[in-house]
Amino acid sequence: MILDLSLHFALIGFMSLAVSVAGLKCFNCENHVNPACGVYFKAYQFKADHCPGPDAKCALQRQPDKDGWIGIVRICYHPGSLQGINETNGCKNWTNDVSGYTAHYCFCDTDYCNSSLINSGVVKVIMFLMLMIWIVG
């Protein structure tokens, strides 16, 4: 049983290493170009891109509601692109001091994590718990 458990953990570690070597994959789209990129994201209509650079993150930008329309942008984000924003994983509001433009940004660093408007941390915990139940069970 312990040998089987060790084998499972080794396999999981190898798979996560293989994914990290391939590079981060993020969705890149804007809902003013394709409405399927909007609040009700239709991931099956988009192909995720490999983000260049070792420090890249996935980002989801939500622009304020204007006349019933909410702007959504999903991108590969390169740290330092926005002045004065906390670039750690999670969601935060940002305002450009010069133009007054405000948006809500969510940053994350796992494949396809910018598909959702909610922080992917909850999803990670659920997936981990499901994996542990499968391994132990």
Domain ranges of the chain: 2-136
Mean pLDDT value across residues 91-110 = 92
pLDDT value, residue 1: 44
pLDDT value for 120 = 45
If phi > 0 it is left, if psi is from -120 to 50 it is alpha, else beta; for residue 112 that is left
| pTM score of the predicted model | 0.69
Q: Say if residue 99's pLDDT is above 60.
A: yes
In order of 39, 97, 112, 131, the CA distances from 117 in angstroms are: 7, 25, 12, 24
Contact call for residues 112 and 124 (beta carbons, < 8 A): no
What are the helix (H) ranges across 23-120?
A: none
Alpha helices in 23-137 (DSSP H): 121-136
1-50 tens-digit pLDDT: 444 433 333 333 434 333 445 689 999 999 999 999 998 999 999 999 99
User: In the block, which residue shows the tokens 């408007």?
Assistant: 117
Q: What is the mean pLDDT of the chain?
A: 80
Query: Topology of 2-136 in CATH?
Result: CD59 (2.10.60)
What pLDDT, on the 0 to 100 scale, is given for residue 67? 80
**How many other C-beta atoms are found inside a 10 Å radius of the C-beta of residue 1?**
6
Rounded CA separation 91/61 (Å): 9
